[in-house]
């Protein structure tokens, strides 16, 4: 019998952007619960005492940020299996009142951030024998269900792009076993929207705001749903169905 030691296979690894609070922070906990090593990235993310969580502070709008985050994941965990593009910026205001600086910021985080991290991560997935992987994006149901009470053209412009690229990449990489999905949200109770006001609840036919756990449950469902790709999964209390 050989005396050679066989290295144990490494656990799967996930990259979570926007990980310093709200949905992103909850996803870090959820993916650790699934047994994944996690790279948690955000501009203000703090160090973790958990050896299975690697904090990588950074600005997704900066050139090279995506490569640096994925390289950190490869150095620590040796692989990238999932990316959850949780980072996002929402500024709701009349279209003619947006400034050039707001446009650059929203496009930079919502689109450039997605592009930079996902491009590098998919490259890492393709480099692994057998391929496979998962990219999850976060969108808004305002893309499909615009509201006169909620002017949000730049949210629709950028998040609508994520909806479209979800389907494009799902088809482009299906043969490599890489799935791409999106969760499309209504109003979720987070530090950005802490109060369940009647106005916010009324936007959803179910009559309440969503909770962070609703979003985490949808994303972990998609993580385990190996036959689902190219899906825009609405987590919006029925908002996208009508009102």
Closest CA to 136 of 118, 155, 111, 161: 118
In contact, 193 and 209? CB cutoff 8 Å: yes
Residue with tokens 């825009």, as numbered in its chain:
232
The CA-CA-CA angle for residues 208, 144, 204, to 5°, reads 10
Report the mean per-residue pLDDT for the chain.
91
Spatial CB neighbours of 198, under 8 Å, sequence gap ≥ 6: none
Residue 7 is predicted with a pLDDT of 36
Q: How many CB atoms lie within 10 A of CB 130?
A: 7
Question: Lowest mean pLDDT: which of 52-66, 172-186, 193-207?
Answer: 193-207
Which DSSP state fits 95?
A: G
User: Given pLDDT bands bounded at 50, 70 and 90, which one contains residue 10?
Assistant: low
Please tell me the predicted confidence (pLDDT) of residue 196: 61
Cα separation of 15 and 39, whole Å?
5
Rounded distance, CA 57 to CA 65, Å? 10
Q: How confident is the model at residue 43 (pLDDT cuts 50, 70, 90)?
A: very high
Give me the pLDDT at residue 154, please.
96
The answer to whether residue 4 scores a pLDDT higher than 60 is: no
Return all residues near 220 (Cβ < 8 A) that are at least 6 apart. Answer: 30, 34
- Lowest-pLDDT range of 49-53, 202-206, 222-226: 202-206
3-state secondary structure of 140: strand
Indicate whether 106 pLDDT > 90.
yes
| CA–CA distance, 116 with 86 (Å, rounded to integer) | 14
**Is 136 within 8 Å of 219 (Cβ atoms)?**
yes
pLDDT at 6: 34
Over residues 136-146, the pLDDT tens digits come to: 999 999 999 88
Q: How much is the pLDDT for 194? A: 63
Q: What are phi and psi of 54, to 5 degrees?
A: -110, 120
Domains plus CATH for the chain? 13-236 (3.40.50.720)
Query: 89 near 138, Cβ under 8 Å?
Result: no
pLDDT tens column, 226-240: 999 999 999 999 988
Q: Catalogue the E-assigned strands of the chain.
A: 13-17, 37-42, 53-57, 82-85, 133-140, 178-185, 188-189, 210-211, 232-235
What would the pLDDT profile of 51-81 be if each residue is shown by its tens digit?
999 999 999 999 999 999 999 999 999 999 9
Q: Which residue has the higher pLDDT, 113 or 151?
A: 113
Q: Is the pTM of this model over 0.85?
A: yes
Instruction: State the Cα–Cα distance between residues 137 and 229, nearest whole angstrom.
Output: 12
pLDDT score at 9: 47
- Least confident range from 1-10, 14-23, 154-163, 184-193: namely 1-10
């Amino acid at each position: 019998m050989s005396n050679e030691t066989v290295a144990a296979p490494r656990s799967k690894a996930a990259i979570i952007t926007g990980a310093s609070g709200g949905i992103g922070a909850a996803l870090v906990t959820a993916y650790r619960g699934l047994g994944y090593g996690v790279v948690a990235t955000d501009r203000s993310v703090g160090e973790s005492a958990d050896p299975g969580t690697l904090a990588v502070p950074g600005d997704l709008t900066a050139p090279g940020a995506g490569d640096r985050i994925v390289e950190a994941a490869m150095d620590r965990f040796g692989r990238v299996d999932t990316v959850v593009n949780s980072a996002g910026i929402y500024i709701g205001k009349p279209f003619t009142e947006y400034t050039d600086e707001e446009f650059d910021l929203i496009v930079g985080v919502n689109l450039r951030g997605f592009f930079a991290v996902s491009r590098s991560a998919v490259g890492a997935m393709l480099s692994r024998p057998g391929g496979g992987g998962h990219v999850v994006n976060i969108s808004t149901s305002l893309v499909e269900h615009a509201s006169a009470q909620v002017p949000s053209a730049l949210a629709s412009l950028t998040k609508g792009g994520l909806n479209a690229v979800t389907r494009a990449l799902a088809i482009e990489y299906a043969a490599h076993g890489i799935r791409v999905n999106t969760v499309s949200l209504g109003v979720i109770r987070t530090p950005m929207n802490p109060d369940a006001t009647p106005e916010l609840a009324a936007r959803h036919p179910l009559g309440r705001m969503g909770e962070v756990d609703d979003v985490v449950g949808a994303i972990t469902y998609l993580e385990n749903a190996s036959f689902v790709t190219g899906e825009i999964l609405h987590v919006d209390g029925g908002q996208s169905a009508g009102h």
